[in-house]
Chains A and B, each alone.
Chain A
């Protein structure tokens, strides 16, 4: 069942995530696709995440597609102006890639080419609107296309950054522009997420789009502390850090916490799925899906 069908039929959705390699080795993606095939509904393919040059997301998405895994192609506004965005989207549609996640993109200063010129011709909300318009059969110029695209449009949301209310307004705008599914940043602070979700339900946004809660299993407390310090907009509860610190088997504890989180998130009103994003640890995806009892939905 494709992601589109799952969204329409109101079933529980599980997404994975993988980053393409920093070389032209397509074999690596094929290898990684084994961790996802038949286990998750769709897999995010990052687009030069943290502004580090990697194999392009369109090419990687195509490789995954050939391997029988449904890709969600990420598209950032950092590297492309409106011409390149539209042409890349058309190219992706021609290759049979049907899901696109619209992002603004990390600032180039943090990557491996800090001297690069960031484009930011559109922002993520305008990109969502652009894709929605292409689905209607029009380019940004107003020119009508012979064949409209059929993208399922996704966008990201960060419930954990300040100001809290502004995050809801952003989400509202994204849904208004035409986003069909929303993937949140990884949840490390359940209380804050619960408060955010409550507001989302109050605004009625959960009925207009599918909200997938992000879950990131971590290998060690070091990774957690690094994220708390270096990654902007991430909020991690002390309880989580202490649990990881006290554990003698941090890897197992990381999986355990992730599984517990999924169990809790599953029961939230408005949460329609999980977005698993183990960074550089894709092999853990099947383990978590199985332990969280989500495997049954794929059989």
Chain B
């Protein structure tokens, strides 16, 4: 069986839907661009990255920071900026959403670039947002414990 992480949801976007998606994207952008700096990737990860858009990263990494974060948390490419994943880490800590950082994010589907993430959730192309995380610390422990068990 192919790996879950590397599989792409193959529900094609019809030209008609794309038009509608553009319209939806316009309204989505009104909110998401000023608040989160949305880059219109169409596969929104905001809820699992503590509501910091990870696509602001110059390498557009979806699974955590590269090895070049400076000691003060600066981006290795643009020193005057803060590393996006540095922000995500501290925000996750603050909002008690650390367990979500353990999730492996799938390979980006470039077909969904510049489409409405809200519509994509509705059409079940991508997973919906995760609003509430209860007992975050316990969840992190469970993730690690499950793994140890799976090994045995």
Contact surface of A with B, Cβ cutoff 8 Å: 82, 104, 106-107, 109, 118, 120-126, 129-130, 132-133, 136, 138, 140, 142, 156-158, 161-163, 165-166, 169-170, 172-173, 176-178, 185, 203-204, 207-208, 232-233, 235
Contacts and interface: CB of A to CB of B under 8 A. Distances in A.
Contact of B6 (A130, A158, A170, A232): A130
30 contacts: A104-B59, A104-B61, A107-B77, A109-B77, A120-B59, A120-B60, A121-B110, A123-B62, A125-B63, A125-B104, A126-B105, A129-B3, A129-B5, A133-B2, A133-B6, A136-B2, A136-B3, A138-B3, A140-B8, A140-B107, A161-B67, A161-B69, A170-B63, A173-B63, A173-B102, A173-B104, A176-B147, A208-B151, A232-B68, A233-B70
A204 B145 CA distance: 9
Nearest to B65: A166
Contacts of B144: 172, 203-204
A158 B67 contact: yes
Given A104-B59, A123-B61, A166-B64, A233 B76 contact: yes
Given A133-B2, A233-B67, A163 B86 contact: yes
Nearest to B79: A232
Contacts of B69: 161-163, 232-233
A109 B75 CA distance: 13
Nearest to A104: B66
A203 B86 CA distance: 22
Interface SS, B side = loop
A203 B69 CA distance: 23
Contacts of A172: 102, 144
Given A107-B59, A203-B144, 11 more contacts: A118-B59, A122-B107, A125-B104, A126-B6, A126-B106, A129-B104, A133-B3, A140-B6, A161-B67, A163-B69, A204-B147
Interface of B: 1-3, 5-8, 58-71, 73, 76-77, 85-86, 89-90, 101-102, 104-108, 110, 144, 147-148, 151
B59 A123 contact: yes
B68 to A, nearest CB: 4
- Interface residues of A, dominant DSSP: mixed
Contacts of A178: 3
A82 B77 CA distance: 23
Q: Which 6 A-B pairs give the minimum distances between C-beta atoms? A: A158-B67, A232-B68, A232-B76, A125-B63, A138-B2, A129-B5
A237 B5 CA distance: 38
Nearest to B74: A232
A142 B2 contact: yes
A26 to B, nearest CB: 30
Nearest to B67: A158
